[in-house]
């Protein structure tokens, strides 16, 4: 049986200047804000995991 996974959510508070930049960049990429932020977090995680200082 396929198990249903629920996504966790939380309110993200960003300063207005960052929020407007993120909206603009997501629009240029043709993706939703949610997808843009998810991908940015994923990219950061990959960089941190591959860092020589990571365990």
pTM, to two decimals:
0.73
For 1-55, what is each residue's pLDDT tens digit? 566 677 888 899 999 999 999 999 999 999 999 999 999 999 999 999 997 776 5
Q: Report the alpha-carbon distance of residue 45 to residue 51 in Å, rounded.
A: 10
2 within domain boundaries: no
Identify the domain containing residue 43 by its residue range.
16-50
45 within domain boundaries: yes
3 within domain boundaries: no
Give me the number of domains the chain comprises: 1
27 within domain boundaries: yes
Q: What is the pLDDT of residue 54?
A: 60
Q: Report the alpha-carbon distance of residue 55 to residue 49 in Å, rounded.
A: 8
9 within domain boundaries: no
Q: What is the pLDDT of residue 34?
A: 92
4 within domain boundaries: no
With both helix axes pointing from N to C terminus, report the angle between 16-29 and 33-50 in degrees, rounded to the nearest 10. Answer: 100
7 within domain boundaries: no
34 within domain boundaries: yes
Q: What is the pLDDT of residue 52?
A: 78
């Amino acid at each position: 049986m396929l198990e249903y996974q629920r996504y966790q959510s939380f309110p993200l508070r960003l300063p207005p200047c960052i929020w407007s930049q993120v909206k603009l960049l997501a629009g240029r990429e043709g993706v939703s804000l949610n997808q843009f932020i998810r991908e940015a977090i994923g990219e950061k995680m990959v960089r941190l995991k591959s860092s020589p200082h990571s365990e």
